[in-house]
Structure 1
Amino acid sequence: MTKPVPDPPLVTKTATTFGSCNGSHAPLFAVRTGASAEDALVHATVLLKSAYQTNAQACEKVDPDVRGLLWATQHSLEMSIALVEACLDEVEAHAMTAALQRRVAQMDQAALK
């Protein structure tokens, strides 16, 4: 069954602030309402990959006592990247399916004319 109206794009519903330096001032930054979920996931992937690379370099430069903590962080970052990329793959697949459904509906309408 083809849906006559496609699902609306996924967007953020609430603003989330960050960058308050432990409450010493009002937050400097925010994820704004209405941001595309797909764009947010792409940015999250880039940020996580940057943190992963930074942490990997830090692992090479610290003493063995701290290295274990950094490796735990490295594994958490790797899991986070995998999770975000899996979600992004799902969002992209959903968008492609919706686009295909729109094309089929347009072809059906054109055939009826």
Structure 2
Amino acid sequence: MTKPVPDPPLTTQTSTTFGSCNGSHDPLFAVRAGVSSEDALIHTSILLKSAYQTNAHACEKVSTEVRGLLWATEQSLEMCLALVESLLDEVEARSATAALLRRSLQAGQSVVE
């Protein structure tokens, strides 16, 4: 059976701080509570793409010994980016399905199972 009303979008529930420079001072930044999952995934994707590009550029500039470490980092970044992009695709698909369901209900159409 199809639910007539979709679940509300997921959001962050707590604030998470970062940027304390190994505890030498209070954190400078925070992920705030109430951020939508879709917005968080989009921002994460942008940050990972930036880190991936920075790491790829660094691979061209370093010695052979260090390059191996950077290639391992690049592989990890690529896996993280693929996971985030996959999650974002799912969030967007669910959002599109929910919007279609809302339009159908507003138009007075019956919900198809």
Superposition TM-score, scaled by structure 2 size = 0.92
Q: Please name the residue that 2:31 is paired with.
A: 31
* Structure 1 counterpart of 2:86, one-letter code: A
Deviation at 1:107, TM superposition (A): 1.1
- Tell me if the contact between 1:51 and 1:77 (Cα under 8 Å) persists in the aligned partners: yes
Q: Please name the residue that 1:83 is paired with.
A: 83
Percent identical pairs in the alignment equals 73
Count of aligned pairs between the two proteins: 109
1:21-100 aligned at under 5 Å gives the runs: 21-100=21-100
Deviation at 1:108, TM superposition (A): 1.3
Rounded to whole Å, the distance in 2 between the matches of 1:91 and 1:15 is: 22
Q: What is the root-mean-square deviation in Å for CA atoms of aligned residues?
A: 1.0
Q: Which runs of 5+ in 2 are unaligned?
A: none
Rounded to whole Å, the distance in 1 between the matches of 2:14 and 2:46 is: 22
* Structure 2 counterpart of 1:93, one-letter code: A
The structure with more helix, counted as a fraction of residues = 1
Superposition TM-score, scaled by structure 1 size = 0.92
